[in-house]
Structure 1
């Protein structure tokens, strides 16, 4: 499968000509392998005890691989069906006709490769010789990656045309989440931008600040289970709509609040992005000169006039508070920067392959989120990482760890976190996992005196300046149990809730500068299960630094 791996990598880089050459070579190999492994003598060998499963596995793998290669090959022709440029804007617009033409091709290829992938995944490698099991495992990984790429491309080609205005203009509210003040889905929504899509043409048509909207009277009604966990603030302030990790709930509330605050406006969906995702996008666009800021109605002090992937996070999550005092002006600056990055993405100043990789990376980390009012579109989005839907079933378990700021300020810029799962023994027949969250306040020792009041909170919410207060939430899978909580190895009190059938534990942690602590929640289930996936609130740190490898308790054999 080395040729197959290379072709996948070339496709992902946008080198369709190189991928086409690789696939042409691969077709010869897979055709020969399929012919040999389906020979009558080979099939007879497949029924021989002990050796049979190895022969049958080779046959199944060869057939599945040959089918997949022949399904992908037509996408690498001169039409560029599989090219990243298909999904990226040129001169401010996306070619909707090309997307609509590509959809049936991508859909057929996706279904074919998905079926072939299922065939390989169904092979029981425990029955095979190690010399065969190892390469089959690698082949399965490649097939899974290719299946995911094709599925994503097919879904995008299906829903993007109507979402981008093929059937009439669409307006999207964009939340710029500020990770310096944590919310469960990322950060507090401060800057707000309206993106209008009309027949593929993209424009920023309005902007605002969450702080300008203020409190909503009466507060919106939100799901009672979520209100019991996160209070009625969910529906009272734009800044608090994403106290819940469930993005469809947050997005629906944000839409209603925006339309209530802006009579006559209409929002067809909500998008979310954070400064770390903007840094990824700047890797694709290159540095962007902030031309709009030449007429910005405030003194920007030493803030940069050129935005790069290296300075955008520090600029937006730290430096801006040293140079701009008014929250509304800070939000305006956020919005202006987001507009500049958007212009760089849509006006042709971008490497299409790099942009697609940036979008994939931001999506995988939960930094790019989408919600649509159209149910057919939302049903596709909800089943993808873009949907931000809380997940975790017995068949596909996931444990989520989410953070909400309790300081009322921007101190999360200084917090460093690590999250890991520990599998524990089951002496009573139960299967247990403990999720451990280690947090450190890395602010300067004199943070309460040297950092701006807007960053420390100045004690306005009862938290000593320099101290970080965080509300930590842990979600277990449905049909699991929340057993206990601990802090630094000792039993600790915790809140216990339910959200859509999932057990939820909650604890509040306060850390002075330099302090560190580990909070633990233990979940159990009577059913044998795969190791749970781990989802966390995206923050200032790279997610790869936060999520640690799972461990097994030392008392387990």
Structure 2
């Protein structure tokens, strides 16, 4: 039997070459392309009979339903972004109706049989995967999420414990979303786009991009939900060590964690068990925790001996291990979870909660909390000691009570926590491995990426070595020149500027606790990290200020790391520089820095090729 002549093909080609080609170009940015179905119909009508007629009619119906679904997805995202939560359920219902209608024909045996037809089947299969994917997302993610999001809030049971059911539900929805997107990603990757017509190939590519984009946001969502669960004891009783960094004594992760609070959490019940200052911990005997040799080389023995140097390395698991080991050795307690934050994060959070009151009536606000906790307190209590420790303890307890009261907009708080996490001022580690795994890929885990997938991350970090709280007055900046003129061998030149800027009326009257152990002379260490898998090609000191030394140069955390020791006096500027060679798979540059009181300005410059 000979194959019938495909008499409609020329006509379809003629029709699609005119005005429809313009429509196709305009709609190519859409997830589901209006234009893929006409060429697909031309391929499907290879014979006569009811099956071919049904398949063609169904393809048109699927096209229309997916167009409606696409519009509803856009509307849902916009309403969610604008927090018009009352509109989410009606939009979700319309999306569900369209998505279900689109997916229904693709499960019919006729559709599935068409997937086996040479020259046609891969096109039909691709459309089915897209339709089923939209339906799965609608039913298992959008529908349940729309019902939850408008009601999500903070409530307590009769015992005063927080109700964790909304958190459990949200966690389950996010887990389902991850499973669905993982499956879709694999299915789309399995489509042979060499065997599909161009519009279908383009649709597959665009839909894969959407899935990839969603995959990029899910780790942060899952990490946030897992972190909230760990902080509230969703998996049962545990101890949480909450460490507050002092950014006036800078380290890579933020500052010395001299003020620490131990929490007991269990199924929504959270209480303060103990507040500890560095004076209660042995700061002389080294911690025996196993650490990479490269870390010992860069950060020397104080990483293990001095509590305020615990956060020297830009790797929160290292800091968490050292803190847990210190608590175990000195206090006989091994916290299950370690959380670290700083007054910079508190300032952002107070924008949402409003001011907190301390005993005696003093208020901490978003505008004054950094200054009061990191500078003014040392003028008030020049010797530090018990009085300043008591002040920090009172401030910590007041802020904790304010957070736990829940008298604020939960969505504004969620955004604030996202902001401080992305700026490096909130990190978390837990011994619960499934929960810790959910932190991977988010800034919450406080690590540098092991690859350059998605972003080529460079690091600019500082550590105070004046034994002071002088970094309240330190100003820093970084200029990064990206040279991709030879794509297979990109380079990154990182130039860092430091300037000590103490007001003239304070220069000779700073409290001893703020000023250096050698008054008027200040030492800061700078650590520059290159791209994962890269190497260092140049180390330079364009301006040594009062004296700058370099080294060691090591490979730390899977990337080249350079150390500079900079000595300055007030008013001086120092400049250090390193150039790193990257790898051919490098992505757009992202620069991470120590969260400084005076934020490190970062300038990205593209090298001129010529």
For the superposition of Structure 1 and Structure 2, which TM-score range results when normalised by the shorter chain? 0.7 to 0.9
Within a 5 Å distance, the mapping from 1:29-428 to structure 2 comes to 68-78=137-147, 80=148, 84-85=152-153, 93-113=161-181, 146-155=214-223, 157=225, 161=229, 164-166=232-234, 168-223=236-291, 224-262=293-331, 264-290=332-358, 293-294=359-360, 305-328=362-385, 329-395=387-453, 397-424=456-483
Consecutive unaligned residues in structure 1, runs of 5 or more: 295-303
Which residue in the other structure is 1:546 paired with?
Answer: 601
Whether the 8 Å CA contact 2:527–2:561 is kept in 1: the answer is yes
Secondary structure at 2:587 match in 1: coil
What's the offset of the Cα at 1:512?
A: 3.0
What's the offset of the Cα at 1:313?
A: 1.3
The CA distance in 2 between the partners of 1:91 and 1:518, in whole Å, is: 58
What's the offset of the Cα at 1:229?
A: 1.0
Whether the 8 Å CA contact 1:177–1:190 is kept in 2: the answer is yes
Return closer, same or farther for 1:29/1:368 CA change in 2, 3 Å cut-off. same
Q: 2:537 aligns with which of 483, 486, 492?
A: 483
Which residue in the other structure is 1:300 paired with?
Answer: none
The CA distance in 2 between the partners of 1:280 and 1:312, in whole Å, is: 10
Whether the 8 Å CA contact 1:71–1:113 is kept in 2: the answer is no
Whether the 8 Å CA contact 1:284–1:355 is kept in 2: the answer is yes
**Over aligned residue pairs, what C-alpha RMSD do you find?**
4.3
Bigger drift between 441-450 and 482-491 goes to 482-491
Which residue in the other structure is 2:14 paired with?
Answer: none
What's the offset of the Cα at 1:226?
A: 1.0
The CA distance in 1 between the partners of 2:99 and 2:146, in whole Å, is: 20
The CA distance in 2 between the partners of 1:90 and 1:450, in whole Å, is: 55
Structure exhibiting the larger radius of gyration computed from Cα positions: 2
Task: Show CA shifts across 1:448-480 (max 9, x none).
Answer: 3132222122xx2x4x42x54211111223321
Secondary structure at 2:540 match in 1: strand
The CA distance in 2 between the partners of 1:29 and 1:517, in whole Å, is: 62
The CA distance in 2 between the partners of 1:4 and 1:362, in whole Å, is: 29
Task: Show CA shifts across 1:322-362 (max 9, x none).
Answer: 21223233233223212211111112322211111111111
Bigger drift between 114-123 and 157-166 goes to 114-123
Does 2:589 match 1:520? no
Return closer, same or farther for 1:82/1:256 CA change in 2, 3 Å cut-off. farther
Bigger drift between 100-109 and 1-10 goes to 1-10
Query: Number of residue pairs matched?
Result: 526
Secondary structure at 1:186 match in 2: coil
Return closer, same or farther for 1:220/1:347 CA change in 2, 3 Å cut-off. same
Return closer, same or farther for 1:203/1:433 CA change in 2, 3 Å cut-off. same
Q: TM-score when scaled to structure 1?
A: 0.80
Does 2:562 match 1:505? yes
Q: TM-score when scaled to structure 2?
A: 0.73
What's the offset of the Cα at 1:174?
A: 1.2
Return closer, same or farther for 1:428/1:77 CA change in 2, 3 Å cut-off. closer
Secondary structure at 2:502 match in 1: coil
Whether the 8 Å CA contact 2:154–2:406 is kept in 1: the answer is no
The CA distance in 1 between the partners of 2:581 and 2:383, in whole Å, is: 48
What's the offset of the Cα at 1:484?
A: 1.1
Q: 1:471 aligns with which of 507, 520, 525?
A: 525
What's the offset of the Cα at 1:177?
A: 0.4
